[in-house]
């Protein structure tokens, strides 16, 4: 089996209604990343200094040396930026979620006390603010365990949320396997929370943001002035609020850093945005853990039997009859590169149709000839498949007058004689009258035209059948 693990389907065209508390049209969630004292530094036992997310253009690591300028920028975040943000959010009565690096929390007890006094959520941001992409799996697992231990020791309770940021391909799985987190935020792939399956565990994901994020003051393309940041936040809010007004409430995450937006010229934009959203009704500004608690109750995990994870026998059992009496199509479809995108009616339809379309004309004719005549002898003898019986009945073909039955019989005979296969039409798209009209029109077409049209109709019939199964 070839399987593609990435999930680019998500909720599809019809995401669930968030049903935020008190009829909120949007959930605006502020995250303050607390990394100061957990960054790369030779004082912390690292090989080099930090080079990420500072106001130093083109910063590079200094191997084996302390980078005095970089250290002092991070220190500004702890000494000044944090307190400026603390005054802003407590004054606005908006709680935040802290993404706290465990070693940074341990080195900043006054700030941790202030976070707790403000009833801010302190989620885990890992043990150290370092890159994880090249970290061996066992080392990363040990780092996660130590992050939880140290966080619990410093804060007084274990973290319920997790965000690494500089993660590896293993991070989300390893954090889920740890088993104690209500949510993980190491994704950027949706505007709503969702569930993933990691072994026997249903793990909630609350996606984060790298675009509604002050990090773009320190990266390119990025913000130049505070007004750039404000305009982007405002535009994002306006679109999401409108969607919520139209009945599809979403979540807006905003990422902040003490050493970045904590600077006066940048903070002005954040203050402006907070004042802006306070002018709207039905805006919820929760901590991330409150989003998690709400989603757990309102949209609990629901496991389904996934086509992409079925063995061939089960796949063929369910989908072997979608193309009439042609199980070989399902057998071959099972060998394609299937993934989460195929765990729905449209996905299975795509896989089956790919096999059908790439088959020889002779094989396609075999599929067409497996279809019964419309209102023909098999229908009269009640020997149709259950699917065909229901389809023909939906257009009233099981309740024909003697005159109508005779006309269908004659058309069936003439059509097969001319084209070599039965007349096929997706009857659910039609009425009895429009079927008769199509029959009389199409019989005059060339056989090549009718082969192409009949194949399209077979695919349409398959689409309806799969929609019924997945419903």
- Among all residues, which ones are annotated catalytic? 371
Chain position carrying tokens 């005095």: 68
Chain position carrying tokens 């920028």: 73
Chain centre to alpha carbon of residue 396? 41
CA-to-CA distance for 130 and 56, rounded, in angstroms?
A: 18
CA-to-CA distance for 446 and 444, rounded, in angstroms?
A: 7
Residues 6+ apart with CB under 8 A from 297: none
Chain position carrying tokens 């009833």: 119
Bridge-partner residues for 28, per DSSP?
A: 252
CA-to-CA distance for 208 and 287, rounded, in angstroms?
A: 13
Residue 110 buriedness (CB in 10 A; 0-12 / 13-18 / 19+): exposed
Residues 6+ apart with CB under 8 A from 83: 114
CA angle 226, 231, 237 (to 5 degrees): 125
CA-to-CA distance for 114 and 119, rounded, in angstroms?
A: 9
CA-to-CA distance for 428 and 390, rounded, in angstroms?
A: 10
Residues in the chain: 471
Chain position carrying tokens 């199980």: 327
φ and ψ at residue 196, rounded to 5 degrees = -125, 160
CA-to-CA distance for 286 and 27, rounded, in angstroms?
A: 7
φ and ψ at residue 28, rounded to 5 degrees = -100, 115
Radius of gyration in angstroms for the set of CA atoms belonging to the chain, rounded to a whole number: 30
CB of 264 within 8 A of CB of 81?
no
CB burial readout 20-30, b (16+ within 10 A) else e: beeebbbbbbb
Nearest Cα to 53, choosing from 26, 66, 34? 34
| Cβ-defined contacts of 357-362 (< 8 Å, 24+) | 357/455, 359/329, 361/451
CB of 64 within 8 A of CB of 42?
yes
Bridge-partner residues for 3, per DSSP?
A: 338
């Amino acid at each position: 089996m070839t399987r593609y693990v990435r999930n680019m389907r998500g909720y599809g065209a019809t995401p669930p209604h968030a049903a935020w508390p008190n009829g909120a049209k949007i959930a605006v969630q502020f995250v303050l990343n607390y990394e100061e004292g957990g960054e790369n530094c030779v004082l912390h036992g690292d090989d080099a200094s930090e080079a990420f997310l500072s106001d130093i253009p083109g910063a590079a690591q200094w191997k084996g040396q302390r980078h005095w300028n970089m250290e002092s920028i991070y220190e500004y975040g702890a000494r000044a930026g944090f307190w400026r943000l603390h005054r802003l959010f407590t004054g606005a009565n908006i709680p935040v979620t802290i993404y706290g690096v465990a070693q940074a929390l341990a080195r900043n007890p006054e700030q941790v006390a202030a976070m707790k006094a403000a009833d801010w959520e302190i989620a885990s941001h890992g043990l150290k603010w370092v890159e994880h992409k090249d970290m061996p799996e066992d080392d990363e697992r040990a780092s996660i365990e130590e992050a939880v231990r140290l966080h619990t020791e410093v804060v007084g309770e274990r973290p319920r949320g997790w965000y690494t940021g500089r993660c590896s391909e293993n991070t989300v799985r390893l954090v889920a396997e740890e088993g104690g987190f209500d949510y993980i935020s190491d994704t950027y792939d949706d505007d709503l929370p969702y569930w993933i399956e990691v072994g026997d565990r249903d793990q909630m994901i609350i996606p984060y943001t790298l675009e509604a994020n002050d990090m773009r003051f320190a990266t390119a393309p990025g913000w130049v002035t505070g007004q750039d940041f404000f305009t982007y936040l405002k535009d994002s809010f306006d679109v999401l609020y409108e969607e919520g007004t139209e009945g599809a409430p979403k979540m807006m995450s905003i990422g902040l850093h003490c050493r970045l937006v904590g600077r006066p010229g940048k903070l002005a934009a954040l203050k402006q945005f907070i004042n802006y959203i306070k002018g709207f009704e039905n805006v919820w500004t929760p901590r991330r853990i409150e989003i998690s608690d709400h989603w757990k109750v309102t949209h609990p995990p629901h496991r389904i039997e996934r086509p992409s994870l079925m063995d061939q026998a089960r796949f063929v059992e369910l989908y072997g009859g979608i193309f009439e009496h042609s199980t070989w199509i399902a057998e071959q479809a099972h060998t394609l590169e299937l993934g989460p995108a195929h765990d729905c009616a449209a996905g299975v339809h795509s896989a089956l149709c790919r096999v059908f379309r790439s088959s020889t004309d002779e094989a396609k004719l075999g599929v067409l000839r497996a279809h019964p005549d419309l209102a023909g002898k098999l229908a009269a003898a009640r020997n149709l498949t259950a699917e065909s019986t229901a389809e023909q009945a939906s257009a009233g073909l099981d309740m024909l007058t003697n005159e109508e039955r005779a006309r269908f019989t004659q058309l069936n005979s003439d059509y097969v004689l001319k084209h070599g296969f039965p007349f096929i039409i997706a009857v659910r798209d039609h009425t009895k009258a429009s079927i008769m009209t199509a029959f009389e029109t199409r019989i005059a077409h060339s056989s090549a035209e009718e082969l192409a049209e009949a194949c399209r109709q077979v695919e349409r019939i398959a689409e309806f059948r799969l929609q019924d199964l997945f419903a």
